[in-house]
Amino acid sequence: MRTFVAVAEAGSVSRAAAELNLTQPAATRRLQRLEGAVGAALLDRRRRPSLLTPVGRDALERCRRLLSIAGELRALALDPQVPSGEVRIGVAHALTELAFSQPVDEVRRAFPRVVLRLRTGWSRELLERVKTGALDAAAILLPEGEGLPSGVLGEAVGRERLAVVAGRRSRTRPREIRDLREAGWVLNPAGCAARAAIERQLARSGLPLQVNVETYNYELQLALIARGRGLGLVPARLLARSRMRSQLRVLSIRGLDFPLTIWLVSGEVPAPLALPLHSLSRALARRLGRGPTTRTRRPADGRHPSPRNG
């Protein structure tokens, strides 16, 4: 069941196998055994990527519930006052390199019986997974001022700003958006909110987005930018810590500004696991150099409650 849930959430057997430290044939065999026990196909293998069958969609939520119950049963023999269990946490790509390893270490030391299962992705993808229950929580970045969707609890734990950078030796000296007409960029692949933001800003001025290189790794991006392969858009905090910082310069371009809020969002989690999530939020806020600013929930009926300071 755990393998089936991983396949459904990862979107492919190969990615799920990697997350579970299995070979792809081993993951496939587990999935086939579950289908044999259920007596029906859970994946439509005629499509690429494979999609859940109607039975698979119904089975997914039941498997999640059963895995949760199994975790509760294992915890019965333990001290009920000590939080235990599994927490599935999504981490936005930028935050894995920026701020997340130390908070995870702090939570593991404080709650040794809690298992943190981390999954990286784009912020909006992770937010959707929290809404559907595929993740218990996620650390994401959203444009400053953008609210959370209904039914999601969130705490703003810091702020970030994206910086437009060029190689120090580059002759590019753009001062306004129109000066970027001929610019090429080194950016994250499509799906990244930062890339979508710069594309929208350029489109408003009638300019295309020309991508010279796309890669997930920010340090590689900065190395390529330093060598003159294009302009970049990176978190200012990450830039300040980069070994490439001395070979880059930040561009000040009128009309381009990208303030972001860093959120820790969560759905409904079992009470014993609320404390580790609270601890993670505080550790992340300390790592980012500031305390949390706002705690807010958008209820399922769509009303907007007033945020509480905390």
State CA 18 to chain mean position distance.
18
Neighbours of 30 (CB within 10 A): 21
| 68 within 8 A of 191, measured Cβ to Cβ | no
In terms of Cα–Cα distance, which of 216, 201, 269, 130 is closest to 140? 130
pLDDT score at 297:
46
pLDDT score at 251:
92
In terms of Cα–Cα distance, which of 70, 79, 123, 107 is closest to 274? 107
Tens of pLDDT along the chain (310 residues)? 989 988 887 778 888 888 788 898 999 999 999 999 999 999 888 777 778 898 998 898 888 888 877 766 766 665 556 666 788 888 888 787 656 777 888 888 888 878 888 888 888 889 988 988 888 899 998 888 888 888 788 888 888 888 999 999 888 888 999 899 889 999 998 888 788 888 888 998 899 999 999 988 888 999 999 999 999 999 888 888 888 999 999 999 987 888 888 898 988 777 777 888 888 888 888 877 653 344 444 444 433 333 333 3
Measured between alpha carbons, how far is 210 from 193 in angstroms, rounded to an integer?
Answer: 16
- In 292-307, which positions are buried (b, 16+ CB within 10 angstroms) versus exposed (e)? beeebbbeeeeeeeee
- In 252-272, which positions are buried (b, 16+ CB within 10 angstroms) versus exposed (e)? ebeebebebbbbbbbbebeeb
pTM, full prediction: 0.66
Query: What string of DSSP letters covers 126-195?
Result: HHHHHHHTS-SEEEEEEETTPPPPTTEEEEEEEEEEEEEEEETT------BGGGGTT-EEEEPPTT-HHH
Domains of the chain: 1-75 (1.10.10.10), 160-259 (3.40.190.10)
Neighbours of 204 (CB within 10 A): 10
pLDDT score at 80:
56
pLDDT score at 70:
76
Neighbours of 54 (CB within 10 A): 11
